[in-house]
Structure 1
Amino acid sequence: MKAILFVGHGSRDPEGNEQVRQFVERLRPKIHPTFYVETCFLEFGLPTIIEGIEQCVNAGADEVIVIPIILLAAGHSKLHIPAAIDEAKQKYPHVTLTYGRPIGIHEQTFAILKTRLIEIGENVEAPDKETAVLLLGRGGSDPDANSDLYKITRLFWEQTNYSLVEPAFMGVTAPLLEEGVERCVKLGARKIVILPYFLFTGVLIKRLEEKIIQFRAQYPNIEFQLAGYFGFHPKLQTIVLDRLEEALGQAVKMNCDVCQYRLHLAEHHDHHHHHH
């Protein structure tokens, strides 16, 4: 039997962990009923990855596909999850363990970001010239993950008509949120929309709500709005199912799987395929 083990990051806020479980529950009907499906957490939630694998094996699985519900490839997905999988391989030599990719840079994330802006009244196609979007990541010690947020910011700028789309982080690394806001102000923004690049609620999202109140007091002449996190957007299901399909097919993706040029060529391939 095959089992799928979804790995949430885990939050000190129980509501965040509950949202991960709900997300997997909503995903369940889209996964073939012959698969055993389990949810676990990297930290601040139970079961742990090792416990999750154990539950799959106890349910009769001889193959476990581990899929991280994590936005960017950083220390967790590069080190902590593989270490747990290695430990499980020692413990269960008869079980095949397959490790899928984190969400990473996926074209559908941009559709989610646009939706979250439209929901708060933004005109993504013809935005106000003095509106800045601050794409806010979690921030970490992994340069790859931090630079991915910069790449996502640039790709999002390419897909919208905002003159100003800036990256910032909630913690660990610069530019921090306050620096990002200050930069937008110095560049002439009269309205700043903070767009969280976060999957679910948690301590940081709730802290962000308080920060908005502070910014409104600090910059009385500037309008601040907070957009929603990814949450239960249907496209998030699409992305995670894509990563599952990839892992099941053992597909190796090029790092240009989000390449707009390639996607454009794929769409318009017929135009120059038959004229040679």
Structure 2
Amino acid sequence: MRPPVLLAVAHGSRDPRHAATVHALLRRARALRPGQRMETAFLDFDTASVPRVLERLAAAGAEEVVAVPLLLTRAFHAKADLPAVLREAGARLPRLSIRQAGVLGPSPLLTAALERRLWEAGLRPRDRRSTGLVLASAGSTDPEAIAVIADMARELRRTGWCAVRPAFASASPPRTDVAVRALRGDGCPRVAVAPLVIAPGRLPDRIAEGAREADVLAGVLGPAPELARLLLARYDEARAAVGHGPLAIPA
């Protein structure tokens, strides 16, 4: 029996760098698991919409799909937007079993991908104690999502960074530049900004703008090997979940 199709669902952006980076992440995942069918869809902006890709898969004879959100926290898109799109598609495509996997974060693999980007930007692991870190995410009005970012910042602090402060490009304070200045005030000799975002776009550009006074700006997570492994892990967890019906999508 063929394994379910892995459908990676990204947010989408008008910025062409966004889709290019998502496709690069999927290429990395395919290299880790040859033979696994993987497709990409987008919630907004891109023509490869989730309904259109699911219709194409159903027409090609696919029987099962696991939709893995390329989202880092359980905010609106993971809790409401994507489930609604999947439920509607499932009603129109009754022969296609659709399951939604969990979001990517939090995970030690996500933390490892963040630190990989920091080392690539010029820091070394031994620089942690003299470096304050801004964990900069896109932002959300969802308290659960904000709490996850705060928890990640605390976990990173325990690994030896001088100090760690969360920041947000939208919706919630503080902004990146405010967090950078706060770390200077904390007495950290060096300040680095780690974007907790998968692909370039308007909000990541806003993070970069706010990082101008920082000493180090890491790149977006993109096709980091750890992120590709995390994508596959969420797919495997959804496949292994017990008690699911033909349409296991969170309400």
Q: TM-score, normalised by structure 1?
A: 0.81
Secondary structure in structure 2 of the residue aligned to 1:71: coil
Question: Residue 41 of structure 1 aligns to which amino acid in structure 2?
Answer: F
Contact 1:53 1:88 in 2 (8 A): yes
RMSD: 1.9
In the alignment, which residue of structure 1 is the partner of 2:151? 151
Percent identical residues: 28
The match for 1:250 among 223, 241, 245 is 241
Question: Alpha-carbon deviation of 1:123?
Answer: 3.0
Distance change >3 Å, CA 137–CA 251, structure 1 → 2: farther
Hey, what does 2:66 align to over in structure 1?
A: 65
| Counterpart contact for 2:175–2:210, Cα < 8 Å | no
1:171 aligns with 2:170: yes
Distance in 1, matches of 2:162 and 2:24, equals: 37
Distance 1:81 1:62 in 2: 20
What's the counterpart of residue 225 of structure 2? Answer: 234
Question: Does the 8 Å CA contact 2:24/2:222 hold for their aligned counterparts?
Answer: no
Structure 1: distance between partners of 2:21 and 2:216: 23
| Aligned residues of 1:38 and 1:56 also touching (Cα < 8 A) | no
For structure 2, the residue ranges without an aligned partner over 5 or more in a row are: 244-251
Partner of 1:46: 47
Instruction: Tell me how far 1:190 sits from its aligned partner.
Output: 3.4
Higher RCO (Cα < 8 Å, 6 or more apart): 2
User: What count of residue pairs does the alignment treat as equivalent?
Assistant: 241
Q: How far does residue 246 in structure 1 lie from its aligned partner after superposition?
A: 0.8
In the other structure, the counterpart of 2:104 is 103
* 1:42–1:48 Cα contact (<8 Å) kept: yes
Whole-Å Cα distance in 2 between the matches of residues 212 and 106 of structure 1?
A: 25
For the residues of structure 2 that align with 1:64 and 1:119, how far apart are their CA atoms?
35
Equivalent residue for 1:4?
Answer: 6
Per the normalisation by structure 2, the TM-score is: 0.88
Q: Which residue of 2 aligns with 1:124?
A: 125
State the partner residue of 2:187.
Answer: 188
User: What secondary structure does 2:205 align onto?
Assistant: helix
Aligned to 2:84: 83
Match of 2:57, SS state, is helix
Q: Aligned partners of 2:20 and 2:150: how far apart in 1?
A: 29
- Distance, in Å, in 2 between the alignment partners of 1:6 and 1:182 is 37
Inter-partner Cα distance in structure 2 for 1:251 and 1:126: 44
Q: 1:86 to 1:121 in 2, by over 3 A?
A: same
In the TM superposition, what whole-angstrom CA distance separates every residue of 1:178-234 from its partner, at most 9, and x where no partner exists?
A: 321232122223321111111112222233333334x3xxxxxxx522112211211
The structural deviation recorded for 1:128 is 4.8
Q: CA deviation at 1:251?
A: 5.8
Distance 1:226 1:195 in 2: 6
SS at match of 2:215: strand
Q: Is the 1:36–1:56 Cα contact (8 Å) retained in structure 2?
A: no
Deviant stretches of 4+, over 3 Å: 29-32, 125-129, 207-213
> C-alpha separation between the residues in 2 aligned to 1:31 and 1:58?
24
* Partner Cα distance (2:92, 2:168) in 1: 38
* Paired amino acid for 2:21: Q
CA distance in 2, matches of 1:197, 1:41: 19
Considering only CA atoms, is the larger Rg found in Structure 1 or Structure 2? 1
